[in-house]
Structure 1
Amino acid sequence: MDWFNAVVQGVLLGGLYALFATGLSVMFGVMRVVNLGHGDLAVVASFMALAMVNGTGLPLWVAIAVMAPLFAVLGYVTQRVLLRRSLRAGPMSTLVVTFGLSIILQNVLLEIFSADTRTLGGGAFATGSFRLTQDISIPYLSLATFVLAVIVIIAIQMFLSRTGLGRMLRASSDDPDTATLVGADSRHVYGIATAIAFGTVALAGVMMAMRSSFDPSTGPSRLLFAFEAVVIGGLGSLWGTLLGGMVLGLTQSLGSQIDPALTILGGHIVFLAVLALRPQGLLQGRTV
């Protein structure tokens, strides 16, 4: 029964990794950009939610509701001000720019909040669970995170397939030059893609902060998990991102059952195995 419980917990953990990875997948799918500051943005959202809750006394759900649209606006502005020019210079330039963004965010957080480890308490919701059987319990927070990840992916898919702006995103992903000729404003389209990425990573950062501790240096590890989920699931597939997150979560959960030292290492081994045996990922498709 311990093994079955590990499978359940691994699947639920995969929802969190998928939520982290969704924005990374969208940015790569539309602009072919790997944002090296992705994990640090999640940590920024964690600290901002913590400051909002502690400073104003507002309930945590208000902070969650505020962070996503706030970071979406920040993402749009970041693309128009920072990333737009680097895109013209090529993919290596965007890597350097987002790496610089990562370093700046880490140091700003360090100056403001110090290197102390923090937690974002969620009360009974973050620590409580309900039992399926005597040996299997489902944490409320883990289940809510998994459901949120599925809702976010469905919402993005519906936006991409059923709205004019979403179809323009898909067209820009396939052939940006042709899309521009038929009226697409690449600056606005790329801004919307970045807004989606920043909004989803803000949600992931707050959910992670309720689950575990964080500090200004935890961003790169968040980025690594997101990147592994995207690659395992398949570049260009939102549902593949969910599958990749679940595979990564399952591997870590089952690895910890064998030996706690395999918790993180097991996920890295699966990531390398997918790169070696199926570099296109488990699912082939397109994000946009």
Structure 2
Amino acid sequence: MLNQIIQGILLGGYYALIACGLSFMFSVMRIINLAHGSLAVASAYLIFVLSEKARLPLFACFIIAVVVMAAVGWLIQRLILDRSARAGQLLPILSTFGLSMVIDNSLFEHFGADTRSLANAIGDLSWASWELPGGIFVGKLPVLIFATAVVLLAGLQLMLSHTKLGRAIRATAEDPDTAGLMGIDAGKVNAAAAAIAMVTVTIAGMFLGMRATFEPYSGAPQLLFAFEAAVIGGAGSLWGTLIGGIVLGVAQTMGASVHPLGFLIAGHAVFLIVLIARLFLPDLTLLPAKLLRGGGAA
């Protein structure tokens, strides 16, 4: 039981990481980015190509991918989301759905259906572990992923609370019209927020390639896990995303210990239970996220 809980918590770190950008974009622009998972897979492919074909060190591949994907996020916001938002709330969602289709099929056309992995680039980190008292083993990579998720979420929260850009992002998210009267360019702020969200997507994509294999259509399940983690923790709450990821991860590992098919079923069941509970006890289900967030804006 204890082993399943520990493994679930570590798995939850990955889910929080993959959900971070989704939650961040929703909190700022009120947009559910359905291309989120596909963009994470695209960043994994970019790092893979730079590592395997260009023979660059993994850290250099990551830095290049961060710059490229941040620019992609900026362009997506300026060229697609900003324009589609003028036609109502539904069109941006449909636009990101169409974008995910384009990304998935483009990756398939270029790379085929073969699975890829970044495990070769990290050596024994992909399988090495520490032994805890009681004969429990924890993987070094899952611990690294969990620590990265915590640091990333903390960094985003600090940025939002203590920087000029962060205050502009929060003001735009709260009331873009009033923020405009204060001299804040909502379009540029949203584009910057999209670029930041894409940096988190790149980090998640890199760890996706490290911990598992990926193929062109891996984006859909990543989007599903990210969405469930974000909703369980409270959509738009950064620290709530960590809670949601942990709850989802623990539910899946506990379900897998009962039945091989229980991994996905248990996670979906918890998601539905939280979703239904929010209809009747909204304040109670949002309390954990509010406590960790410290009352601050996401």
TM above 0.5, yes or no, is yes
2:179 alignment partner in structure 1: 179
1:163 alignment partner in structure 2: 163
State whether structure 2 residue 143 is matched by structure 1 residue 148. no
2:113 alignment partner in structure 1: 115
Superposed CA offset, 1:220-268 (max 9, x none): 1100000000100002210000000000001011111111110011000
**Deviation of 1:27 (Å):** 0.7
Inter-partner Cα distance in structure 2 for 1:174 and 1:64: 33
Judge which range, 169-178 or 117-126, deviates more: 117-126
**CA shift in 2, pair 1:207/1:198, >3 Å:** same
**Deviation of 1:202 (Å):** 1.0
Superposed CA offset, 1:159-186 (max 9, x none): 1111111101111111111111111101
**Deviation of 1:145 (Å):** 0.5
Inter-partner Cα distance in structure 1 for 2:296 and 2:276: 21
**Deviation of 1:72 (Å):** 1.4
**Deviation of 1:78 (Å):** 1.4
Inter-partner Cα distance in structure 1 for 2:63 and 2:242: 22
Q: Which runs of 5+ in 2 are unaligned?
A: none
Residue type of the alignment partner of 1:186: A
Superposed CA offset, 1:115-154 (max 9, x none): 1111221210111111113521111110010011111111
**CA shift in 2, pair 1:211/1:117, >3 Å:** same
Find the residue that maps to 1:236 and give its secondary structure: coil
2:270 alignment partner in structure 1: 270
Find the residue that maps to 1:58 and give its secondary structure: coil
Inter-partner Cα distance in structure 2 for 1:218 and 1:201: 14
Q: Which runs of 5+ in 1 are unaligned?
A: none
**Deviation of 1:81 (Å):** 1.4
Matches within 5 A, 1:188-267: 188-267=188-267
Inter-partner Cα distance in structure 1 for 2:37 and 2:258: 28
**Deviation of 1:110 (Å):** 0.5
**CA shift in 2, pair 1:39/1:286, >3 Å:** farther
1:86 alignment partner in structure 2: 84
Inter-partner Cα distance in structure 1 for 2:247 and 2:208: 18
Find the residue that maps to 1:95 and give its secondary structure: helix
**Deviation of 1:73 (Å):** 1.8
Scaled by the length of structure 2, the TM-score of the pair is 0.93
Scaled by the length of structure 1, the TM-score of the pair is 0.96
Find the residue that maps to 1:183 and give its secondary structure: coil
**Deviation of 1:287 (Å):** 5.0
Equivalent pair of 1:237/1:286 in contact (CA under 8 Å): no
Q: Output the aligned Cα RMSD.
A: 1.3
Aligned residue pair count: 286
1:13 alignment partner in structure 2: 11
Superposed CA offset, 1:30-58 (max 9, x none): 11100000000011011111111101222
2:51 alignment partner in structure 1: 53
* Identity value in percent: 45
103, 106, 111: which one aligns with 2:104: 106
Residue type of the alignment partner of 2:277: L
Residue type of the alignment partner of 2:219: G
